[in-house]
Structure 1
């Protein structure tokens, strides 16, 4: 009798486990639900590089995921308003964000910013582009003595003769500004770039995250998207979610080493 009961107990436990696995798999398989849109938060104003890249990718994401992708701009405080909204969103895959790093990495490391999120509040999903930084002078008719920004920001200004770029912070010359030397060529070993990518609130189910990452990879590497990015002055450099997370960690390490020096200089 005891043996019979034990066998029945094992059978029931196995059946329940199988049912649970089917339900979990079914839930992942049903994502995204038909008719439910995915919100893509952009933490910068319309027209900014992060926004432009996101709007190029959004239609391809819709095609890959079979759901509407609605771009929502939440600019302000150097991206902090949008990043805060992303960190507080439900971790169900229906809210993701376009990110620029180091901004998303720097803000929670500086106590004066009062950020309510940390590096661990986000799950990187993939990187789309690296946008080298640069330094220019004689900016906008010499009304501004110097300018520090990214290649994508000044490409049209260079074409219009509104800025003179002194150097690009990359290991090699930018294909978008081929006549501008790198700082390395001028004897200064300075390399810095802004990474454009995507992240979700931490805690998104693994099965859902895998679907989003796969869709992002296809969208980012699509030839038509790559061509449109090139027109924007942004070179496509894809990294997986894990690789993008590693890149964040490397940036975070560098910034943690630099911030004390900056504070001492201010003091």
Structure 2
């Protein structure tokens, strides 16, 4: 069984790429961020024709998240937003897929550490932490997938000195990431790969992808109940090589079938 996350940076632009990727990589669950589509503009017919059902939370121009699930799998208990947190931005959607609670999140970027958007980011992170803690109490099998806009360690940054203290790498952001782990979650990619220069995002400018100057900011965190069934987690760089790509690329977690067979 496979779960994947991908910030597509406009589903309208990248829909052909998403469909092509799913044809070659028929994952069971694909979490998308930055749809940049209004709710009624979501391409449901095309998604269903590809063999998937979907739950989504759209927003004009910015943000937007979706969970795509293979048609033969269940998609239940959909919740949009962070319950109890008043947020006009469409950043979070959750659903239960064959007993596994899946939360898809597009974390706040923050712009710069002296920006009001950074203050919003830290407030948002605190609200998300509380939400995740409550979800873990209800669901043993749990995964939080998305564009976190946080590079958790220096190993996740092409130039740690240059990025030190800056947004995406600041101490408060990394501490927030650490608190998510402390709730009982594991960074799925780092369960299998501790190598340097492993990134999921590269700026469009200055040939950053070609030079492999990127950041690892797209993550899949899993509860202990899923961690014991994890068999692989990889960053698929191929879509970043395509024409008019997203600046992010997919991250894919493979679980043994037993993870989805649990009666939660």
Normalised TM-score (structure 2) = 0.28
Higher-Rg structure is 1
